[in-house]
Structure 1
Amino acid sequence: MVKLRLKRCGRKQRAIYRIVAIDVRSGREGGDLGKVGFYDPRTNQTYSNVPVFLYFLERGAQPTGILHDISKKGLFKELRVN
């Protein structure tokens, strides 16, 4: 099963997260299937590649709870416009 979840990167005490599609059995830092965007919790800034996000959702990928909450704030606004 494929999930859309956050992958930590950045330096110590200044983490940013990549939004990636990854197999459930992989660890947090495991190999991903595709990069979808990023999330910066310090500035609360989110960037996502909407066509790639929709591609993985159509193929049955499930977003994690945290990613679902983040995407409700910013990503779904973009989806309504398109």
Structure 2
Amino acid sequence: MTVIWFLVVGVVAGWLAGVLVKGGGFGLIGDLVVGVIGALIGGLFFTGLGSALGGGVLGSILVATLGAVLFLVVVRVIKRA
């Protein structure tokens, strides 16, 4: 069941990041990939700061979304270079 929640959080976070950064989602698989990468980046970032946004699914979605937004912004900057 944990893997299913991880995938759901990844899809939701990837979709939210796509809407916030680009103006649309990337499809189910694209949203999942962006969300999972964002969850990893967000988890590392907030762990490095020594803080958290709360537990549960909502906190996980928030951390993953912030990480995914950061990831998409970096990718956009690299693509322009």
TM-score, normalised relative to structure 1: 0.26
Greater strand fraction, Structure 1 or Structure 2: 1
Q: Relative CO higher for 1 or 2, CA cutoff 8 Å, sep ≥ 6?
A: 2
TM-score, normalised relative to structure 2: 0.26
Greater helix fraction, Structure 1 or Structure 2: 2
